[in-house]
Amino acid sequence: MRFVTYIDGPAGEPADRVGVLSGDQIYALTPGVTLRGLLGDDGERLHREGEQALSDPRDVLPLDDVQLRAPIPDPPSVRDFMTFEQHVQGTARLAGAGAEIPPQWYDAPAFYFTNPAAVLGPHDDVPVPPGSDLFDFELEVAAIIGLAGRDIRASEAERHIVGYCLLNDWSARDLQFEEMAVRLGPAKGKDTSLTLGPVLVTADELAPYRSGTAFDLGMTAAVNGESIGTDRWDAMHFSYAEMIEYASRGTEVRPGDVLGSGTCGGGCLAELWGRKGRDAHPPLRPGDTVTISVDVLGTITSRIVAYRGSPASLTTE
């Protein structure tokens, strides 16, 4: 099944509502129900509610008539991994032509925690972070945890995934590089925006495409209609099962947790800069549009805008 979260209700009192997407129509679930609230088991409750909405519709509306939110707008945590070898190799070359992947990368699926409060929906504009002149995108696929667990073995980890959605990990590269020079970060380099959507595709729907570490589906990224790169989802070096095993070691993963795959090969400007130099493509600027797509999971097109706040640390007298 394919689930969406969208804005419902009058303009003055908007509320999130969940629906099942069938074709280009949304079959709404009961008001007040959230995707995160339907998690916590092996997916039975989510599928039961979805089937009920399809068989006995309460409200049906066209997809084009709604504003989508992130499928889960308030994840308990977001872990972002680095599982695509081509991406890691390309970005490593930002340090110099001879730079290679650290051997430790092959030992375990490394990740960092990013900001759950920064989650945006697939229709939302994306602001350039304050103080950044080197803004970038990252094409990823996120697994959503449906069943909690601790110290999960990789052989049992797949049952903890309820489904998948696109993830764009927006990156202020200049801030990121400065922060990580002191052995911390990315911090503010990754803190302003994280786009999720457009739909949560349940794991069973992807089963026919199973291949190696992931699924035999294409991934594409473009800026202003110009192709930046393509990859295959099953090019991941580590599987989601291995990611969950590592993430849950000594701690708990919870329903609604987001586990990003990391950027695919060709899925960001930084990799292009590492392979072809900083002049290969300009960083993102207000007015640019970024489109990321994965077969079956859908497409997100985001408009880049100027940051509208006034951070005290960046203002001048």
pLDDT digits (tens, 9 = 90+) for 133-180: 999 999 999 999 999 999 999 999 999 999 999 999 999 999 999 999
Look at residue 278 and tell me whether its pLDDT is greater than 60: yes
SS3 50: helix
Query: What is the rounded average pLDDT for all residues in the chain?
Result: 95
Cα-flanking dihedrals φ and ψ of residue 233, to 5°?
A: -60, -35
Look at residue 317 and tell me whether its pLDDT is greater than 70: no
Domain borders along the chain are: 2-69, 78-314
What end-to-end distance do the CA atoms of the chain give, in Å?
Answer: 55
- The CATH class, in words, for 78-314 is alpha beta
Burial of 250 (0-12, 13-18, 19+ CB in 10 A): exposed
With a CB cutoff of 8 Å and minimum separation 6, the contacts of 272 are 90, 228, 229, 266, 280, 281
Q: What is the pLDDT of residue 10?
A: 77
With a CB cutoff of 8 Å and minimum separation 6, the contacts of 25 are 60, 61, 62, 63
Look at residue 254 and tell me whether its pLDDT is greater than 60: yes
Q: What is the pLDDT of residue 155?
A: 98
Look at residue 224 and tell me whether its pLDDT is greater than 50: yes
Q: What is the pLDDT of residue 137?
A: 98
Is the separation of the CB atoms in 169 and 83 below 8 Å? no
Q: What is the pLDDT of residue 11?
A: 73
